[in-house]
Structure 1
Amino acid sequence: MADLKGKGICYESDDEPIQLTDQNDSHTIRDFQRSLIGKVLNPKKQNVVKLLQHMPTEWKLQDCIKANDLGNGKFLFNFETEDLQYVLQQGPFHYNFCMFVLVRWEPIVHDDYPWIIPFWVGITGIPLHLWTSKNLKKIGSKLGHVGEDKIKESEGRMCIDVDTRKPFIFSKKILSPGGDEVTIQIKYELLFKHCTFCGMLSHELSHCTKKEQGSSNQMERAYVFSRVQLPIGASARQPLLREQKPHDRYEQRESKYHHNVDLHSSKRILEVNGYRRTVYARHDDSSDWYAGKQVGKERS
């Protein structure tokens, strides 16, 4: 009665997790033996409710599947028959051109579960004399878990269980026994939208935070360099101003459109066949020197 009236309730904060029991749960596990559990990888582009409505129709099994939204981007497909094996063979899966995970349900407790997608992966660039099943498996182990009897040596392909929580790798350097370094290319079959900058499936390039951070860092470095440039003193500018002549139209045009021409230009006197020739040269962005027009001629 004390609990019903609220007198036995403890209002103190308690961060300890609640311990659950697994007694007499064999019937629960048995109920999910014909279930597939899935998770969307790009929540901004994938609506779980619409996915649950679309995929059974895509597989032509809408009358044999009961779908449940589990929240947090996860969902469950319950099959009345053994058609779940047929569905699993259709993978890897995508909806709205973005990938999603779909595996056979297991009693795994983890916030990220499920996270594995089996991909057939093609490798190119391996030297022919090193093209062996052993080397393919060694390469595949750096990408994920290589399934047993899932290597096709003649085609350079293998089936790999890839962890979708990590960036996908599309190229890798390998070393030959002689110490020579070669870059191989990795192609994931039926891979749809992903970030081409960081390799994650959870977003596309336009939403990549790592790319934005890289751009801001580059802008910050450029700003730092602009701040440390030493300004040219007034004493250095005065000689240039004194040497200007009214008829120096070319130099006037340069100073009109390039207010900082004094930072990059210099005056040169060339002597040709007894004539003294004043020429201005400026250093442009392409690091090539070019001569200005003749702005004055006087006999030496």
Structure 2
Amino acid sequence: MARRLTATEKGKGILIETDQPLIKRIKAPRLDNEALIREHSRTLIGQTTNNQEQRIWSLIQSLPRKWSIQGRVEGVDIGNDCFQFKFEKEEDLQKVLDNRPYHFNYWMVLLQRWEPVISATFLSQIPFWIEIKGLPLHYWHDLMVCNIGDELGTREKHELTSRTARVRVAIDGLKPLVKETIIEFDSGEEARITLEYKRLENHCSFCQRLSHLSSHCPTRREAESITKRLGSEYRRMRYPNTTKKNPHIRVAKSKRQS
């Protein structure tokens, strides 16, 4: 009679190691980091929106040439498609912030003042001047323009003249741009408003994100795939007796063999 195998010999109870990386949690010590906070108080943190088209070191060399500042500035690649600029003078840093948004190689750049916070959403704000088009003339009012800005993001300021209504808003650059909005009035009426972003460079005209063109849009490809699948299912339901190669050629039913 053959010997029975043990559980170990059968492989039961053996823990199989996986290739998943081990993530270890480390408790940070209490630190007096006031000196480090002061050291980085005149620092801007930036991030590219398209890492395939924007090379960090080229950006670090090119961007300061657009600023016309007086003091020194030092740029460093800090990884994860991010970079930092440390300024010698506060007025130079503020001048750069006031003249945002910036772009490099025809793609937008996220640029914010450094803050001593740890947040996955910290580096996301990008300010735009947004021109409001289609607003009814009898609602051409400062309060109306400010209300639109507040709904889009963090409103910084606005301008309203007899010809132009625009608002400067810091929006989340990691989310799709809002190009249209419907204003609902107390009268029950509605108006479709168009929003035009000034100094906006390459972006996706389909999903309105800053990170790619419509030709590389995953949302567009998914939508086209769904539309194609639904179209095929509709044709099969509408023309059940057609060939696969040519849906307009009907297949004759064969006579039953005697």
Instruction: State TM-score, norm by structure 1.
Output: 0.69
One-letter identity of the residue aligned with 1:57: R
2:218 to 193, 197, 209: 209
Post-superposition offset of 1:105 = 1.0
CA deviations 1:153-191 (Å, max 9, x no partner) are 323111111011211011111122221121011011111
1:87 to 85, 96, 115: 96
Post-superposition offset of 1:103 = 1.4
Distance 1:84 1:124 in 2: 33
Conserved? CA contact 1:56–1:62, under 8 Å: no
Does 1:199 pair with 2:205?
no
List alignment gaps of at least 5 residues for structure 1.
1-12, 233-258, 264-300
Conserved? CA contact 2:129–2:169, under 8 Å: yes
Does 1:96 pair with 2:105?
yes
Give the greater-gyration-radius structure (CA): 1
Distance 1:158 1:170 in 2: 14
List alignment gaps of at least 5 residues for structure 2.
1-20, 243-247, 253-258
Going from structure 1 to structure 2, the CA distance change for 1:173 and 1:224 (only over 3 Å counts) comes to same
One-letter identity of the residue aligned with 1:72: N
Matches within 5 A, 1:1-300: 15=23, 17-21=25-29, 23-60=31-68, 64-82=72-90, 83-147=92-156, 150-154=157-161, 155-228=164-237, 229-231=239-241, 260=249
Task: Specify which structure has the bigger relative contact order, considering alpha-carbon pairs within 8 angstroms and separated by 6 or more residues.
Answer: 2
Secondary structure at 1:146 match in 2: strand
Q: Report the count of equivalent residues.
A: 224
Identity of aligned residues (%): 33
Distance 2:50 2:215 in 1: 13
Distance 1:47 1:194 in 2: 17
Distance 2:111 2:30 in 1: 25
CA deviations 1:225-273 (Å, max 9, x no partner) are 23222328xxxxxxxxxxxxxxxxxxxxxxxxxx84999xxxxxxxxxx
CA deviations 1:35-73 (Å, max 9, x no partner) are 111111111211111101111233355971111101001
Distance 1:138 1:26 in 2: 39
Going from structure 1 to structure 2, the CA distance change for 1:206 and 1:86 (only over 3 Å counts) comes to same
Greater share of strand residues, 1 or 2? 1
Conserved? CA contact 2:130–2:198, under 8 Å: yes
